[in-house]
Structure 1
Amino acid sequence: MSNDTLTTAPTPAPSTSAKGEKPASLWSDAWYDLRRNPVFIIGAAMVSLFVLISAFPGLFDSVGVDPQTCSLTRARQGISGDHWFGSDNLGCDVYSRVIHGARVSIIVGFVSAIVTGVIGGALGLLAGFYGKWVDVILSRVAEIFFAIPSVLGALLILAVIGRDNAGIASVVLALSVLAWPMILRIMRAAVITAKHQDYVMAARALGASPWRIMGRHILPNAVAPVIVVSTINLGAFIAAEAALSFLGVGIQSPQISWGLMIADARNRFLEAPLPLLFPALFLSLTILSVVMLGDAVRDALDPKLR
């Protein structure tokens, strides 16, 4: 028998991009699952809609009424062609104020989630990677903030700042100061698990610097829990902003906030329920969409749930 008949062509290595086969990496695999999750699709569509409303309120304000223009002659009117959601106690158009009020809630929620994610994630990365006295100091500082009730601490911070200086930046500061320790703990635990993996040991043996190991090897494999928690916290921050504005220490007039609208309409609720129901409905839908998005992301990025 000739050598030609004994020679076989090498078998090609299996491709992870074959049709119908799921990708191998965590992020590609998560995106594969998310695209097929109806909860994620609905949540992402709703969140995208609210973000679009907050960024371009003029596109959705078909009534064309200035939200700051009020007239007592049309106070507490019902739904009509000129006022789709009726008017509030001061004669302001509820629909226009609901549309323009989305901006404050969305900005506070997203900025607070990003700030706490960056600060808590960076400190958790340092605490988990270096350990020893770095871990002890950062963990003890975080425990001090954990001992402060969130709502009470935010009220205290905003009371010190004063109502005259209260605004979006103040609310973001009050929420972020009290929320970053949770992200630190989550990132710290993920980093401690990741730094003992074989690929990190190999990077150390090859002489990689600590910053390169943290940035190239540990962070990409430890950041998934932080993304999940930050996404879920987004809804909590939006609700917290509404609560603080409702209590009178958050956003102040003439700025427009859903929480502030609810506070202004509560005294005449039985007489005119629409000025309270519509901002409360939009607030609830926003929080619901964020929770749906966070749950879907958690299911996709958590290997234990696969």
Structure 2
Amino acid sequence: MTEPATVAVADSFGRATTRGLWAALRSRPQFWVSVVLLVLLAVVAALPGPVAMLFGESDPRACDLLASNQPPGAGHPFGTDVQGCDVLANVLFGTRTSLFIGLATTAMSLAIAITLGTLAGYLGGWVDALIARGADVVLGFPFLLGAIIVLNTAPDRSPLVLSAVLAFFSWPTFARLIRSSVKEVREREFVQASHALGLSPSRVVLTHILPNSLASTLAIAATMVGGVIGAEATLTFLGVGLVPPSISWGVQLSTAQSYFQLAPHTVLFPSIFLTVTVISLIMLGDNLRDALDPRGRT
């Protein structure tokens, strides 16, 4: 088998997988619902100011203490918080921070997992054993408990720092999945033919193995984004996540927890946005996972 033929086999396999995935997804109403909701949230995250202006208030830090904890009404569709700040503006601007943390954490976790999981699955031997033991050590710490311990000692709890800490405790699961996929793909005929033709290991990995190993991992990654956003809100609510002047749904919920009975709207609206975002991402991940599983293609 010549090199062009080997590449063609790998490419045709990838195209067939992509076509099958799209055919399975486009007939699923839940997939389209999640996509529409996530597109709307992406627009809000990209343009929180203009979107907030449509409702009368574009500055989340324009506060009036005389209007503290006002219920929803004219000029403040979601009401105001304890400092007299517009809840809607804070929710819209918090979308950017919460989505950034979810996406940044997942991206960093995937970068670590793809590197280590590919090395473990492709090389095997002592490399595989060393990476596996390192993953076991990290998995020995419960996700939230480990994050709480590290964040309590961090001098700065910015969104980027929080994302890095959450990524550190998230990569082992991805790495194990990628390792298993790489070990399976490396035994396929087109990969063996690539080796026989003298292609370098790095080229084989980058052009043949990884493109055919990451589909199931990316499906889980979509679900992870939602889980990370929920984790950020939980950590912030517990007092070890983001702190003002950062704006996120977790910060809003943490600030509003003492005023729930007096001003329930300050908890209700951030909670709604948080719930819709997490559910949308989980729905997207579930649909991708089911579409990649032949038994889920009904």
Q: Output the TM-score relative to the length of structure 2.
A: 0.92
In structure 1, the residue matched to 2:259 is 268
CA distance in 2, matches of 1:68, 1:211: 51
CA contact (8 A) 2:108 2:164 kept: no
Q: Which amino acid aligns with 1:154?
A: A
The alignment status of 1:256 with 2:247, answered yes or no, reads yes
1:218-257 alignment runs, 5 A limit: 218-257=209-248
The Cα of 1:302 is off from its aligned counterpart by 2.3
Match of 1:202 in 2: 193
Bigger Cα Rg: 1
2:266 matches 1:278: no
Report how far residue 35 of structure 1 moved: 2.0
Q: Percent identity?
A: 36
1:146 aligns with 2:135: no
Aligned amino acid, residue 71 of structure 2: G
For 1:270, give the aligned amino acid. Q
Runs of 4+ in 1 over 3 A off after TM superposition: none
Give the Cα separation in 2 of the matches to 1:145 and 1:25: 37
1:46-61 superposed matches below 5 A: 46-61=37-52
Q: Classify 1:304/1:201 alpha carbon distance in 2 versus 1 (closer, same or farther; 3 Å).
A: farther
Measured against aligned partners, the alpha-carbon deviations of 1:186-238 in whole angstroms (never above 9, x if no partner) come to 00000111111111111121112111111111111111121011111010111
Report if the CA contact (8 A) 2:49-2:58 is conserved.
no
Tell me the equivalent position of 1:134.
127
Distance 2:193 2:157 in 1: 51
Residue number among 24, 37, 47 corresponding to 1:33 in the alignment: 24
Mean CA deviation greater in 282-291 or 247-256:
247-256
CA deviation string 1:253-291 (max 9, x = no partner): 011111111111111111110001000110000001101
Residue ranges of structure 1 left out of the alignment (5+ in a row): 1-22
Q: Residue 83 in 1 paired to residue 62 in 2? A: no
Alpha-carbon distance in 2 for matches of 1:184, 1:227: 12
- The offset of 1:148, in angstroms, is 0.5
**Among residues 167, 171, 175, which one is paired with 1:180 in the alignment?**
171
Q: Distance in 1 between matches of 2:268 and 2:106?
A: 27
Tell whether the 8 Å contact from 1:242 to 1:259 is kept in structure 2 after alignment: yes
Most deviating of 50-59 and 272-281: 50-59
Task: Write the letter of the residue equivalent to 2:21.
Answer: A
Provide, for residues 69-93 of structure 1, a one-character-per-residue CA deviation record: whole Å limited to 9, x for no partner: 2122111111111110111111111
The aligned amino acid for 2:69 is: R
State the shift of 1:24 in Å. Answer: 6.3
Give the gaps of 5 or more residues in structure 2. 1-13
* Aligned equivalent of 1:287: 278
Deviation by residue 1:157-192 (Cα, 9 ceiling, x = unmatched)? 111113xx1111111011000001111000000011
Partner residue in 1 for 2:154: 161
SS in 2 for 1:60: helix
Q: Matches of 2:280 and 2:145 in 1, distance apart? A: 27
**2:215 corresponds to which letter in structure 1?**
A
CA deviations 1:16-55 (Å, max 9, x no partner) are xxxxxxx961012212222222111110111111111111
Q: Structure 1 pair 24/121, CA: closer, same or farther in 2 (3 Å)?
A: closer
Q: Which of 84, 95, 101 is equivalent to 2:88?
A: 95
Cα separation, 2, equivalents of 1:92 and 1:104? 18
Q: 2:33 aligns with which of 17, 42, 65?
A: 42
Distance 1:26 1:75, change over 3 A: same
- Aligned AA (1:247): L
Aligned counterpart, 2:66: 73
Instruction: Note if contact 2:222-2:284 (Cα within 8 Å) is conserved in structure 1.
Output: yes
Greater mean deviation of Cα atoms: 171-180 or 69-78: 69-78
Contact 1:121 1:226 in 2 (8 A): no
The answer as to whether partners of 1:245 and 1:257 remain within 8 angstroms in 2 is no
CA RMSD of aligned residues (A): 1.3
Paired letter, 2:80:
S
Count of matched residue positions in the alignment of Structure 1 and Structure 2: 282
